[in-house]
Each structure stands twice: as structure tokens, then as C-alpha cells.
Amino acid sequence: MATEERTKEILKMLHTAVCNFEEDDVVKWSKIALEEGVDPFMATMEGLADGMMEAGEKYNKKEYFVPELLMCADALYAGLGILKPAIEVSGRKSEVKGSIVLGVVEGDVHDIGKNLVKLMFEVAGWTVYDLGKDVPLDKFVEEQIRTESNVVGISALMTTSMLSMPEVIKRLRAKNPKVRIMIGGAPVNPEVAEKYGADGYAKDAGTAVDEAMRLLKMLKEEELKK
């Protein structure tokens, strides 16, 4: 079991390796994290995903451009390939297993965050219908109807693409008033979620499943009242 200090060091190495798009180093430090007993979810979020955030800051400062971001994303996924099976093994299976349709709205190709959210639902034993990225608005509705999923999760990473969210929500509700809708992504916050008429919001992958469980509970309670 790694000490607190060693854990911090491993997380820092993962962070730096993603940010410097050093794929080999990401693989090496992901393996070390597992060997030394670092929580694989912590290694993913506080190592890999944090490194991606710093890459975003470099992009803002015009030190990085799109090619560098893509290489950082490749490095992140290389690490995720190693850590994901361990997250699945360590994952708490929830008693209530729902199903969720997940996707990134039309015009938006940022799918790293959505993929981490997907991973957490899979780990919790949910069935995930992943529509991927740049998803046409009606596809969310069609997939919800096809799969009869209780929850739909919509992701947007841009202030421009997030503007489609209320329209998706409106179309989903028109077809199925009972569906529960949660939204997320960096430009989204609880106020936006309320304004857009979503039922739920989660700021990160670590809290998304709990939020979906809250929505399912609400749905069950409403059905019992009838």
C-alpha cells in the first residue's frame, strides 16, 4: 500500500505524463499505481483527468494547440486502458440498477468526460447506451424510446453546444414525461440545469451515479403516489 506521500508522487507523475503527452510514461505510472495499491479511480481522476485539465490551461495560454490536446487525450486513454479493469473490480455495485442513454450534444466532439461518466455507471452495474459524441438531437429521443431507459445523460463542453440542451430536454419530455434527464460538462452548473429544465446535474463522474440514483428514487416515489 503506497504511503500518502508516494500516492501524491504517483498522481503527480500521471498528471505530468498526460500533460506532456508521454504515453509510455502514462502506461508505466498507471501500472505502478496498481502495483502499489493506489485507488484506480483516484489515479484516473486526480492523475489522468487532472493532467488533461492542465493541458486545457496551456491551450488557453496558447502554449498548446489542438494537435497537442489530441496527443494528451491519447495518453489519457492509454492510462485508462490499464486502470479501467481495476476500477471495475473495485467498483461498488449498486442495488438499484437502472439504464441510461448517454451522449455528447450535436456540434461537440469532447467525449473524455462523458467516457469517464460512462465508466462509473458501468462499474455501478447500470446498462449504458452510449451514443458517442456529436449526437443529433433526435437521436437522444429515439434511443430513449428504443431502450426504455429511465435516465438520459447529456454532456456538453462548449458554451455554444450547450445551447442545444434545452431543445433535447423539451423533445425528450414531449415523447416521455416520465424520463429523468441529467446534464453535465464544464460549462454546466446547477443553475443552468434548472434553467434548462433538467432533473439533475453532476459536476463530475464521481458523483454522477449518485445523482442518477436520486432521480430514480424520485421517479419511484411519484409512481407509488399514483
β-pairing, 99-104 with 151-155? parallel
User: What are 37-43's contacts with CB under 8 Å, separation 24+?
Assistant: 37/1, 37/2, 38/2, 38/7, 38/10, 38/11, 39/90, 40/83, 40/84, 40/86, 40/87, 40/90, 41/87, 41/90, 41/206, 42/7, 42/11, 43/10, 43/11, 43/14, 43/79, 43/83
Contacts with ligand B12 by CB under 6 A: the residue count is 38
- The nearest distance, CB 18 to ligand B12, in angstroms, is 10
- The nearest distance, CB 2 to ligand B12, in angstroms, is 23
Residues 182-221 that bind ligand B12 (CB under 6 A): 182-187, 202, 204-205, 208
The three cell numbers of residue 203 are 459536476
- The nearest distance, CB 142 to ligand B12, in angstroms, is 18
Judged by CB under 6 A, the stretch of 15-23, 33-41, 63-71, 82-90 that binds ligand B12 is 63-71
DSSP-assigned beta bridge partners for residue 201? 183
**Is 89:41 a contact under the CB 8 Å cutoff?**
no
Binding mask 67-106 for ligand B12 (x = CB under 6 A): --xx--x---------------------------------
DSSP label at residue 48: I
Residues 1-60 that bind ligand B12 (CB under 6 A): 49, 52-53, 55-56, 59-60
- The nearest distance, CB 99 to ligand B12, in angstroms, is 14
DSSP-assigned beta bridge partners for residue 183? 154, 201
Q: Which is nearer to ligand B12, 10 or 156 (CB)?
A: 156
Q: Which is nearer to ligand B12, 29 or 41 (CB)?
A: 41
Q: Which is nearer to ligand B12, 6 or 192 (CB)?
A: 192
Residue among 215, 189, 192 at smallest CA distance from 202: 189
* Phi, psi of 107, rounded to the nearest 5 degrees: 85, 0
Q: Does 112 bind ligand B12 (CB under 6 A)?
A: yes
Residue among 31, 11, 23, 118 at smallest CA distance from 76: 23
Judged by CB under 6 A, the stretch of 79-87, 138-146, 157-165, 213-221 that binds ligand B12 is 157-165
- The nearest distance, CB 169 to ligand B12, in angstroms, is 12
Interaction site with ligand B12 (CB under 6 A): 49, 52-53, 55-56, 59-60, 66, 69-70, 73, 107-114, 116-117, 153-155, 157-160, 182-187, 202, 204-205, 208
